[in-house]
Amino acid sequence: MNSGGGMGTDGDPGEGVRSAAGQARRVLVTGASRGIGRAIAVAFAARGDRVAVHYGSDQAEGQATLQALTGDGHALVSGDLGDPAAAKAVVDAAVEGLGAVDVLVNNAAIAPGDGNRHDIATIGYEDWQHIWRRMVDVDLLGAANVTYCVAHHLIERRAPGSIVNVGSRGAYRGEPSFPAYGAAKAALQAFGQSMAIALAPHGIAVTSVAPGFIATERQQPKVDDAMRAQSPFGRVGTPEEVAAAVLHLSSPEAAWSSGAVLDLNGASYLR
């Protein structure tokens, strides 16, 4: 395990990132109780890494993800990332459960759904404020707070590491019925680029992925011919495709991609 040695022999943090290739790592995946997060956790475990599975409120689904992981030494952690104290506690629990954290995947989010639609022309002002506050607190500030805690953990260990943010195509295409979600994801991707610059001297690479529509178990009922036709491939994406991209971007071999935002939308939206 890459438990702490991180610097290269010449003191260059980047050399430490490169030399860690192939080693098992300790990985915190937020929002891993289902969907994309579960697929990411499963992919890391299949590689031989140890995973801290984070869930917000659904313990049964979090436990189901934990049971789906190959290998042993994994951990289950919980907390509402919209609460700054809980966000810190999640990182502390992951460090305690795994012994350290080498990789962070910021996947937890309040996703668009029937219960949080907020078209500006029809929603009441109080509901508008409530939805904006909740989405920003979890989707942006929660990720920022978890990133802060993991980054300080890595810096204190003088260890290289990787942070991958799960953004969205909506950050570029727009989310007219869910503008808080689109804005939070755009800000998350911009935050990741700022952190890529700030954390590079410490050997910590930061990247983001921007998926289009992904057929998770929750979103599968929405898939229709019109949705498939958005992509010239004639289909929608899968959680496993997002997981594969995250696995690559988190690898020491991909450290030179730090600052990148990778579109994962089957050419359904080009920028």
Cα separation, 55 vs 35, in Å, equals 12
Helices 35-47, 239-250: crossing angle, 10 deg rounding? 50
Q: Looking at 125, 172, 181, 269, which residue is catalytic?
A: 181
Q: Is 73 exposed, middle or buried (0-12, 13-18, 19+ CB in 10 A)?
A: middle
Cα separation, 196 vs 111, in Å, equals 25
Annotation says 181 is catalytic:
yes
- Amino acid symbol at 99: G
- Where does the chain have alpha helices with state H? 13-19, 35-47, 59-68, 84-98, 125-135, 143-157, 170-173, 179-199, 225-228, 239-250
What Cα–Cα distance (Å) separates residue 87 from each residue in 12, 63, 150?
31, 19, 10
Both tokens assigned to 94: 């992951």
Give yes or no for a contact between 104 and 165, defined as CB atoms under 8 angstroms apart.
no
Catalytically active residues are 181
